[in-house]
Amino acid sequence: MIREISEEDAESLAKIHRRCFGKGWSEESFRSMLFQKCFAGLAEEDETVIRGFILAQVVIDEAEIVTFCVLPEFRGRGVGKSLLAELMKRFAKGHVKKVFLEVAEDNDEAIGLYKSMGYEEMRRRQNYYRTKRETKNAAVLAKNL
Ligand SMILES: CC(C)(COP(=O)(O)OP(=O)(O)OC[C@H]1O[C@@H](n2cnc3c(N)ncnc32)[C@H](O)[C@@H]1OP(=O)(O)O)[C@@H](O)C(=O)NCCC(=O)NCCS
């Protein structure tokens, strides 16, 4: 089942985010984002377990996907695709005309998913992701709705 996420989901989202990205965003970060009207997100939930979620920031008629993840044990089963498809469907019914995002250029799973949904690469951002150990370039992908 896909449903909208709210501030009440902040704790679960932070836990999922940490498992998917290592050093994830804090519960407080999710709470403060979801408190703002410009953030919109969906979760895919199996009874009480959230398997994945997607969060976007909307500014006038453009939306940026700020984070998107599915728990490792539920990947490759279409959860990610249905979350992205549902979000775009809802955006298309509203005022959003364009969706964009940044993704690490070596993230084949995510890039494969976005391209299968009609996203195209606009440009690269050099050294966009930085950790103590490495830097990675980002690909900026976009789709007009
Ligand atoms: C990216 C992510 C959300 C995808 O979730 P998912 O539920 O596994 O995705 P789906 O099962 O819906 O896969 C959808 C599509 O992804 C693509 N895909 C999946 N694995 C792929 C791979 N190894 N190489 C290329 N494309 C791949 C395919 O197009 C697939 O569609 P298909 O099954 O019809 O061929 C998930 O891998 C994830 O959480 N990754 C870690 C966090 C992350 O990188 N998030 C994105 C940040 S921008």
Instruction: Pick the atom of ligand 1 nearest to 107's CA.
Output: 44
Site of tokens 């966009």: 128
Ramachandran quadrant class, 139 (left: phi over 0; alpha: psi -120 to 50; beta: rest): beta
Instruction: Pick the atom of ligand 1 nearest to 112's CA.
Output: 26
Q: Is the CB of 118 under 6 A from ligand 1?
A: no
pLDDT in tens, 10-61: 999 999 999 999 889 999 999 999 999 999 999 999 888 999 999 999 999 9
Indicate the DSSP class of residue 17. H
Q: What are phi and psi of 137, to 5 degrees?
A: -80, 155
The model's pTM is 0.95
110 CA from centroid of ligand 1 (Å): 5
Q: What is the pLDDT of residue 23?
A: 84
113 CA from centroid of ligand 1 (Å): 5
Domains of the chain, first to last: 2-144 (3.40.630.30)
pLDDT in tens, 59-113: 999 999 999 999 999 999 999 999 999 999 999 999 999 999 999 999 999 999 9
Q: What is the pLDDT of residue 133?
A: 83
pLDDT in tens, 101-143: 999 999 999 999 999 999 999 999 998 888 888 899 999 999 9
Distances (CA, A) of 80 to 66, 72, 76, 102, 142: 14, 11, 8, 16, 17
Q: What is the pLDDT of residue 139?
A: 97
Q: Is the CB of 94 under 6 A from ligand 1?
A: no
Q: What is the pLDDT of residue 132?
A: 80
129 touches 140 (CB < 8 A): no
Kindly report the protein residue whose alpha carbon is nearest to atom 27 of ligand 1.
109
